[in-house]
Amino acid sequence: MTDKTKVVLACIDGSVLSEAVCDYAAWIAKRVEAPLKLLHTIDHHHETAAKTDLSGNIGLDSREHLLEEITSIEQQQSKQRLQQGKAILLKAKQRALQDGIADPIKCLQHGSLLDALVEFEDDIRVLVIGARGKIHENLTDQIGAKLEAMIRSLHRPILVVYEAFTAPQRIMIAYDGSMAADKAVDLVANSPLYKGLVCHLVCVRKKQPADELLEKAADKLRAAGGIEIISASLTGKVEQELCDYQLNHQIDMTIMGAYSHTRLHDLLLGSFTSKMLLKTKKPLLLLR
């Protein structure tokens, strides 16, 4: 499967960020000339759990009657969720059409979102998802409960969206000389998505500057053509310096590697990716 046949996949759940997810996915799909697919999942896990919990230690006849009632309620809930899911996808499709996508693909999937994404992984060119889903949509200081698990599980570029769509003009690569950072440089150099944009190549170290480290990466980006490059070598606390730079230079999107360490390392010392997911307010394009 080539990049041209792989889809830009937008995860739509009806939350306040769903329109922004749709808009960013449409922007990417148009610039890279890829199909746009809109995905909504219906997870029946909570309904199943309720059925198990409510049966209780009661008499046989009463238990059978209760389970019949629970089954009936579960069927009604499933039907309602199905109708809601179709309505959410229809609204997203209308949004995509307004964004200039001629034929957006609707996909209604039963089961968990993570399972669906793992199943579709080989077909994904870029995944676009909101930083918070329906449950956490009003908690702007948090991210979705399962977002980190999704990012760790997939090896596809993932754009995490935080606010209403703004067509990116200025992007930033968080560069540290790692394999993931070099992958980000190659991605920007070779993709039509970034042509005509201003790219800030930013490296943050705790003490010494990183001018030499940046020079080779900047040369590669300049050689690709069509991108204006601005390099910046900073010192200090990495996530704080990057977020301050985003704000001071009006960065519209940050590109960075994700979860380069083991889960044990992240548990003991904290994860830079997790800190950025929580601290930033601008879209993050994460590469594994």
Model pLDDT, residue 70: 72
With vertex at residue 118, the alpha carbon angle to CA 116 and CA 119, rounded to the nearest 5 degrees, is 60
Whether pLDDT at 267 is above 50: no
Residue 230 sits in the same domain as residue 282? yes
Residue 103 sits in the same domain as residue 234? no
Residue 16 sits in the same domain as residue 155? yes
Model pLDDT, residue 213: 83
Residue where one domain finishes, among candidates 132, 161, 190: 161
Model pLDDT, residue 269: 39
Residue 263 sits in the same domain as residue 128? no
Q: What are the DSSP calls for the chain, one per residue?
A: --TTTSEEEEE--SSTTHHHHHHHHHHHHHHHT--EEEEEEE--HHHHHHHHHHH-S--HHHHHHHHHHHHHHHHHHHHHHHHHHHHHHHHHHHHHHHTT-SSPEEEEEES-HHHHHHHHGGGEEEEEEESS-TTTTT-TT---TTHHHHHHH--S-EEEE-SS----SEEEEE--SSHHHHHHHHHHHH-GGGTTSEEEEEEEESSS--HHHHHHHHHHHHHH-S-EEEEEEEES-HHHHHHHHHHHTT-SEEEEE---S-HHHHHHH--HHHHHHHH--S-EEEE-
Residue 38 sits in the same domain as residue 109? yes
Q: Would you say residue 94 lies in a domain?
A: yes
Mean confidence (pLDDT) of the chain = 86
Residue where one domain finishes, among candidates 161, 183, 198: 161
Residue 120 sits in the same domain as residue 181? no
The pLDDT tens digits of the residues spanning 120-153 come to 999 999 999 999 887 766 776 678 778 888 998 9
Model pLDDT, residue 50: 43
Model pLDDT, residue 49: 44
Q: What's the structural domain count of the chain?
A: 2
pLDDT mean over 240-269? 79
Residue type, 18: S
Whether pLDDT at 268 is above 50: no
Residue 128 sits in the same domain as residue 207? no
Q: Would you say residue 261 lies in a domain?
A: yes
Q: Would you say residue 57 lies in a domain?
A: no
What does the chain come to in residues? 288
Percent above pLDDT 90 for the chain: 61
Q: Would you say residue 55 lies in a domain?
A: no
Model pLDDT, residue 210: 76
The 3-class secondary structure across 185-250, one letter per residue, is HHHHHHCHHHCCCEEEEEEEECCCCCHHHHHHHHHHHHHHCCCEEEEEEEECCHHHHHHHHHHHCC
Higher pLDDT pick, 235 / 73: 235
Q: Would you say residue 143 lies in a domain?
A: yes
- Strands 158-161 and 284-287, bridge-based pairing: antiparallel
Model pLDDT, residue 272: 84
pLDDT mean over 5-27? 96
Model pLDDT, residue 59: 56
Whether pLDDT at 253 is above 90: yes
Residue 17 sits in the same domain as residue 143? yes
Residue where one domain finishes, among candidates 140, 161, 182: 161
Closest alpha carbon to 230 in 205, 256, 250, 206: 250
CATH number of the domain encompassing residue 102: 3.40.50.620
Q: Would you say residue 63 lies in a domain?
A: no
Full domain range(s) for residue 185: 170-287
Whether pLDDT at 197 is above 90: yes
For residue 159 the two structure tokens come to 């754009």
Whether pLDDT at 52 is above 60: no
Residue 174 sits in the same domain as residue 135? no
The pLDDT tens digits of the residues spanning 55-102 come to 455 555 676 777 777 777 767 777 888 999 999 999 999 999 999 999
Residue 23 sits in the same domain as residue 40? yes
Whether pLDDT at 264 is above 80: no
For residue 45 the two structure tokens come to 């896990």
Pick from 2-11, 83-92, 140-149, 261-270 the range whose average pLDDT is largest: 83-92
